[in-house]
Amino acid sequence: MSSREDILGRVRAGLQRNAGNAAVGREVMAAALSSRSQGPKPAMDTAPQALLERFRVKSEAQSSTVDIVVAEAEVPTAIARYLTAMKLPKAAVAQPALAALDWAGAGLAVELRGARDADLVGITGCFCAVAETGTLMMCSSPATPAAVSLLPETHIAVVHASRILPYMEDAWNLARAELGSLPRAVNFISGPSRTGDIEQTIVLGAHGPYRVHLVIVED
């Protein structure tokens, strides 16, 4: 007998599985998968301005920094300003999805590709953001490689205010509507990487970025 059959066989024995309770079980399963019922969620003001404000406050609480601009065209200049202030190089890897922005015009040497170990700054968009916890939702694709938000010491993300949603449940629905099925990697990111493994003392910059900077576009 294969291990699969052995394991499932003992599970079935434990549940006293028979044709009758299997049919009931299948109904329970089908109902759960189709109803996608949601659990209780913290109350939230879902007016657009309130969502943006909550997202900002929660992001800052996770040690991200936040800049707000009024048009997408201003993003490269805002990023150049941040890099200057942080004394970081004006060179970055950016996800190919951000090709339309005028990086050179802002004095930035941006390469549109996947990330490499030597990249110091990584610029990404995001699929959407979650106001409840101040979280970015990143969906991997050829135009949005996952490692750009992981390998560089500095991660800069462009967030459109119109895509700040109240809850993670809303993000799933948006993904189902726009992408159909889940991409290879969905990464929810909430601030720079961190560890508390030595004396429960939080240190930023474990294996991923030391800093996360968010440029929110009010559109």
Partner 1 sequence: MEIKSMRFKANAAGSLANVVLQGNLKNAKGKFVTKRAEALKDLDDFEGTRDAAVAIRNKVIDNLDLWLERFEQKAQETGATVMWAKDGAEVCRLVTEIARKHGVTKVTKSKSMLSEEAGLNQALEAAGIQPVETDLGEYILQVDNNEPPSHIIAPAVHKSLDDVADLFHKVHGTPRKTEIPALTREAREVLRGHFLSAEMGLSGGNFLVAETGSVALVTNEGNGRMVTTMPKVHVVITGIEKVIPTLEDLSTLMRLLPRSATGQSISNYFSILTGVKKPEEHDGPEHLYFVLVDSGRADVVGGDFHAMLRCIRCGACMNHCPVYQTIGGHAYGWVYPGPMGSVLTPLYAGMENSIDLPHAATLCNQCGVVCPVGIPLPDLLRRLREKQTERGLRPLKERIGLRLWAWVAQRPKLYALGASLGARYLKWLAGDADRIRLLSTAPEWSLGRDFPAPQGKTFRELYAARQKINKEAA
Compare residues 76 and 145 and give the one whose CB is closer to partner 1. Answer: 145
Looking from the CA of 219 toward its CB, the CA atoms found within 13 Å total: 15
Amino acid letter for position 87: K
CB 42 within 8 A of CB 166: no
CB 106 within 8 A of CB 79: yes
Q: Distance between CA atoms of 167 and 158, rounded to whole angstroms?
A: 19
Instruction: Give me the residue label for tokens 């459109």.
Output: 160
CB of 207 to partner 1, least distance (A): 4
Number of Cβ within 10 Å of residue 160's Cβ equals: 15
CB of 153 to partner 1, least distance (A): 10
CB of 206 to partner 1, least distance (A): 3
CB of 93 to partner 1, least distance (A): 10
Three-class secondary structure of residue 110 per DSSP: strand
